[in-house]
Amino acid sequence: MSDAGPGTLAVPDGCHTVEGRASDQDVAVVASRYNSDVVQRLLDGAVARLKERGIAADRITVVLVPGAWELPLACRRLAEAGSHQAVVALGCVIRGGTPHFEYVCSEASRGVIQAALDTGVPVGFGLLTCDTVEQALDRAGGASGNKGADAADAALEMAGLLRALPRGSRR
């Protein structure tokens, strides 16, 4: 069930486990101002979750961008700067009557993952792509939880995991 979020897995006996848990991280949150009523809830959820996980407020940088289209560039710039161990991308695109929705959602999503892949800095994905405002509100602290908080969790866990995983050169 995708709305349930990450669950718990039983690691088979004898296998080594590496998990990511990190509270001593500097985290950037990039939030779109478009659909600000929804994104504000995502932002509040993400920051609250980071604080719950032990990230001090002075270690959280919030960067505001005009819309979802601008999320990837800001995420990439923050990841490249090297001063943040994780980035969280937050935004909301609601389907309209034109194909614009598909272009923005597809390219913003692609750009966010590309920023993470190119820099090696995890970027939590909190971009809502919904058909209606009601669906967006459900995912921004309503019946379906807060996807901003979920994206913050994922970014922190991946930052801790990457810190724990071995690094090496390709052969």
Just list the catalytic residues.
Answer: 100
Structure tokens at 124: 């939590």
Residue 162 burial (C-beta neighbours within 10 Å; 0-12, 13-18, 19+) = middle
Residues 6 or more apart in contact with residue 115 via CB below 8 angstroms: 72, 75, 76, 79, 87, 121, 123
State the DSSP code for 64.
Answer: E
Alpha helices in the chain (DSSP H): 36-52, 71-81, 100-119, 133-139, 147-164
Ramachandran region of residue 34, left (φ > 0), alpha (ψ -120 to 50) or beta? beta
Between the CA atoms of 132, 135, 141 and 144, what dihedral angle is there, to the nearest 10 degrees? -170
SS3 state of residue 149: helix
